Structure 1
């Protein structure tokens, strides 16, 4: 075998590349964690890229390069929240439950557990976006429209999946099902009961499960 280019073997170059990727991923995670904490503690307007970079131990330039500025950071934090608390992404687990759970009421309970898992992560970030948009920030207003549309499209997907299995009342249209799910996953609903009234996330999730069952399942009083 001939000599390695620049004195480095292919194996060592591969190892170095992997280490750089791992370091970059760890840096990204630090930036997201620190920016989440600062945004939620200080608000969108008062949080600066300089403060985030300092807290994460990186340069301002690397934050701009990685996220494009504060709007990109907030979107990345929100999207990270939707993954759930760990393991496979929550969306993937939800799709699997919709395809495999045999009992309709158990599926509604699964939906409630997903809401209890994701809402404490995603709702505070959504409320940050909403409040910044209300203050007149046009980037946040555009992001608010995007996340609302993306969430509704996800609820339409869920509605089609569950209707397709024959679980729901036959008089329901897919848009009605999506609307009920959209309401149940709203940050405003979470804000009212958990943040203002002190409910636990688990109690909130159980309410969502009962609400979905009552409004969507046959002979459930909906």
Structure 2
């Protein structure tokens, strides 16, 4: 959708506070009223842009592909590699928008502070879902609880990790995804030399 594409471009270039609905409408070739009607204002636009970024770049939404992998992949380490590939695919799209939300929340904007809480709550819920799937498949190290596994996954998918390694240290998204896959495998799966650990 053109409004979302233009909104993303303008928000990321100018920041949340300085970007106006009028500028977005002008860039998208629509009326301000239609933007308000469709998204309810700037907070709704940012939420929609963030949710769009979570779809990834594949043909079907990344979450659907992840769910499919969690039920069909038969090798636990391959599943961790899949998680790493999904993170490498989605993070370049989602991280800049998350950072926009975080910075606007830090500046005192109450709508963005509420959105930041919603985004992080949704991410934790997703990680808990993933942890339960791993546990149900019998892939998880026996000493771990699903809550501990969800916390590990939550930490590994934090935008701050992508920000530090990719945006600041210059890692490629692929290298970052590989690190996530290895970290998840090392912390969630039984050690190859230990049976039933």
Extract structure 1 runs of 4+ deviating beyond 4 A: none
Gaps (5+ residues) in structure 1?
1-28
In structure 1, what is the equivalent of residue 177 of structure 2?
205
In structure 1, what is the equivalent of residue 123 of structure 2?
151
In structure 2, what is the equivalent of residue 7 of structure 1?
none
- Correspondence 1:58 to 2:60: no
In structure 2, what is the equivalent of residue 126 of structure 1?
98
State the shift of 1:168 in Å: 1.1
Question: Which of 25, 47, 69 pairs up with 1:75?
Answer: 47
Q: How has the CA–CA distance of structure 1 residues 136 and 220 changed in structure 2, closer, same or farther, with 3 Å as cutoff?
A: farther
- Could you say which structure has the larger radius of gyration? 1
Matched residues in 2 for 1:196 and 1:46: separation? 25
Is the CA contact (8 Å cut-off) linking 1:214 and 1:220 kept in structure 2?
A: no
Matched residues in 1 for 2:155 and 2:192: separation? 19
Aligned length: 194
Q: Secondary structure at the match of 2:152?
A: helix
Question: Which of 87, 90, 94 pairs up with 1:115?
Answer: 87
State the shift of 1:220 in Å: 5.7
Q: Deviations over 1:94-122 (max 9, x none)?
A: 00000010000100000000000000001
In structure 2, what is the equivalent of residue 23 of structure 1?
none
Give TM-score, length-normalised by structure 2: 0.97
- Correspondence 1:32 to 2:4: yes
Q: Deviations over 1:5-56 (max 9, x none)?
A: xxxxxxxxxxxxxxxxxxxxxxxx1000000011111100010000100100
Is the CA contact (8 Å cut-off) linking 1:213 and 1:220 kept in structure 2?
A: no
Relative contact order, higher structure (CA 8 A, sep 6+): 2
Task: Give the superposed CA RMSD.
Answer: 1.2
Matched residues in 2 for 1:220 and 1:78: separation? 38
Matched residues in 2 for 1:220 and 1:72: separation? 47
State the shift of 1:86 in Å: 3.0
In structure 2, what is the equivalent of residue 169 of structure 1?
141
State the shift of 1:184 in Å: 1.2
Gaps (5+ residues) in structure 2?
none
Matched residues in 2 for 1:220 and 1:117: separation? 28
Question: Which of 178, 185, 188 pairs up with 2:150?
Answer: 178
Matched residues in 2 for 1:122 and 1:207: separation? 18
Matched residues in 1 for 2:73 and 2:23: separation? 46
State the shift of 1:183 in Å: 1.0
- Correspondence 1:192 to 2:164: yes
Question: Which of 175, 187, 195 pairs up with 1:215?
Answer: 187
